[in-house]
Homo-oligomer: A and B are copies of this chain.
Amino acid sequence: MSDARHSFAIPGPFRLRRGGELPAVELAYETWGRLNEDRDNAVLIFTGMSPSAHAASSPADPAPGWWEEMVGPSRPIDTNRYFVVCVNSLGSCFGSTGPASTNPATGQPYRLDFPVLNLEDVASSGKALLDHLGIDSLYSVVGPSMGGMTSLAFAVMYPGVARSLVLLSCGARSLPFATALRSLQREMIRKDPAWEGGSYPAGAGPIEGMRLARKLGMITYRSAQEWEQRFGRERIASERLTGDGFAMDFEVEAYLEHHAQKFTGQFDANCYLYLSRASDLFDLADHGGSVEAALRRIKTDRVLVIGVTTDFLFPIAQQRELAEGLQAQGRHVSFVELPSIQGHDSFLADMDRFRPVICEFYNGDWQALGARCSAV
């Protein structure tokens, strides 16, 4: 555990949306900047599926964070002005309670005894953290991808808490295409004999299944255009060929293998299964019967929605749906379509396009931002 990571115990039991409860929940989080006297300058970040709470470096943990260029002094989420809080999602494995945590009832990891997880549970655990920190009003809640859906859930469940909302590369729900891909990733993990029905020993588990799932993730997070520019038909240099003819011919295959190996071992397989399924189960329409009814519950006046035209996991039409729906409810919506070629991962990979948009939104520079916006 890094020195920057804090931990907070939610007074239990913690009841989950689809039934079941956890006798105790620990949440890991990091903070940057200072809470002001009015306790109203906090920005809450919900993460995508796999990151930890370490969004950015700090004196206590100088390692670069997953959103290093976005969060910090004079960065778009400016820690000179805001008290920034990033939470490791409930169900994850970087300090927050999840399937890899010890079940106090058995002394063993929860594994598949962990209750079905929904993004609403992730949102409500974040709200519990705010209560613990004595924060009633947020300057903003922000999240990319799964974190965007969690932010949506938060805004619907706790109307009026956040004074602004930033939704990046997400949607009101997962489309069947994205669900099919995630379902296949989960199956790759579950079919690995080393998964052992979820009962693999700590530190072991379905390494092969996780590696395959990560590769499919990498494929779906980026875009065909990017890879065409980056790899073309580049072949692997002959001295790096393994002699196994079916292993690899092309650089794109070596790239996937490299990234898949970096990932596996870091993330617990059961946690991955729970969070992946939570992304599929989320449906904003569950809050009131329709997306429209759910959006009506959001009282946050200022909303920024950013999407990327090459994202095929959460296609741009899904961000447009959110922007139009919120605008129809009278919210002030800024909707920005970015032509990044890095697909779904652009919010991590194309900082040069994302940074100024978020900067202008948080600075209230409506004229500059307006020039970037699409009509809704």
| Complexed CA–CA distance, A190 and B116 (Å) | 32
Given contacts A176-B250, A277-B249, contact A212 B233 (CB under 8 A): no
* 6 other A-B residue contacts (CB within 8 Å) besides A116-B245, A176-B250, A180-B227: A112-B245, A176-B231, A180-B252, A183-B250, A193-B193, A224-B312
Measured between beta carbons, the chain B residues less than 8 angstroms from A175 are 224, 227-228
Cross-chain contact of A216 among B186, B216, B250, B281 (Cβ < 8 A): B216
- Which residues of chain B are within 8 angstroms of A190 by Cβ–Cβ distance? 246
Cβ of A78 within 8 Å of any chain B Cβ, yes or no, is no
Contact at A191–B219, with CB atoms within 8 Å? no
Is A61 in the interface zone, CB < 8 Å from B? no
Q: How large is the interface on A (under 10, 10 to 19, 20 to 34, 35 or more residues)?
A: 35 or more
Asked if A249 and B281 sit within 8 Å, CB to CB, the answer is yes
- Asked if A263 CB lies within 8 Å of chain B CBs, one says no
Is A224 touching B187 in the complex (CB atoms < 8 A)? no
Bound together, the chains give a CA A51 to CA B117 distance in angstroms of 42
- Contact check, A177 vs B227: say whether CB atoms are below 8 A apart: yes
Instruction: Flag if B280 contacts A250 (CB, 8 Å).
Output: yes
Whether A280 lies near B180 (C-beta < 8 A) is no
Inter-subunit contact A208/B181 (CB<8 Å):
no
User: Bound complex: CA of A224 vs CA of B313, how far in Å?
Assistant: 9
Contacts of A281 in B (CB 8 A): 249
Contact flags A172-212 to B (C-beta < 8 A → 1, else 0): 01011111110110111011010000000000000010001
Q: Is A248 an interface residue (CB 8 A)?
A: yes
CB atoms of A187 and B173 under 8 A apart: no
- Indicate the member of A177, A248, A256 with the most B CB atoms within 10 Å: A177
| CB of A330 closer than 8 Å to a CB of B | no
A269-282 vs B, Cβ < 8 Å mask (1 yes, 0 no): 00001000100110
Whether A256 lies near B177 (C-beta < 8 A) is no
Q: Enumerate chain A interface residues (CB-CB to B < 8 A).
A: 112, 116, 173, 175-181, 183-184, 186-188, 190-191, 193, 208, 212, 215-216, 218-219, 223-224, 227-228, 230-233, 245-246, 248-253, 256, 273, 277, 280-281, 283, 285, 312, 315
Q: Which of the residues B181, B224, B232, B285 comes within 8 Å of A219, measured between beta carbons? A: B181
Given that A224-B175, A250-B280 are known contacts, is A187 also in contact with B215, CB under 8 Å in the complex? Answer: yes
- Chain B residues, CB < 8 A from A256: 180, 183-184
CA of A227 to CA of B180, assembled, Å: 10
* Residue in B177, B186, B251 whose beta carbon sits within 8 Å of that of A224 in the complex: B177
Distance in angstroms between the alpha carbons of A228 and B250 in the assembled complex: 33
Report yes or no: A232 in contact with B176, Cβ–Cβ below 8 A.
Answer: yes
Q: Nearest B residue to A313 by beta-carbon distance?
A: B224
CB proximity of A123 to chain B, nearest CB, Å: 20
Q: A250-B280, A280-B249 are in contact. Are A219 and B184 (CB under 8 A)?
A: yes
12 contacts between A and B (CB under 8 A): A176-B227, A176-B232, A177-B223, A180-B252, A183-B253, A184-B212, A184-B219, A187-B215, A216-B216, A224-B312, A224-B315, A249-B281
Question: With A and B bound together, what is the CA distance between A273 and B244 in angstroms?
Answer: 13
Cβ distance A270 to chain B, nearest Cβ, rounded Å: 10
Distance of A232 Cα from B190 Cα, bound (Å): 25
The one of B179, B212, B315 in contact with A252, judged by C-beta atoms closer than 8 angstroms, is B179
The minimal Cβ–Cβ distance linking A277 to chain B, given in whole angstroms, is: 7
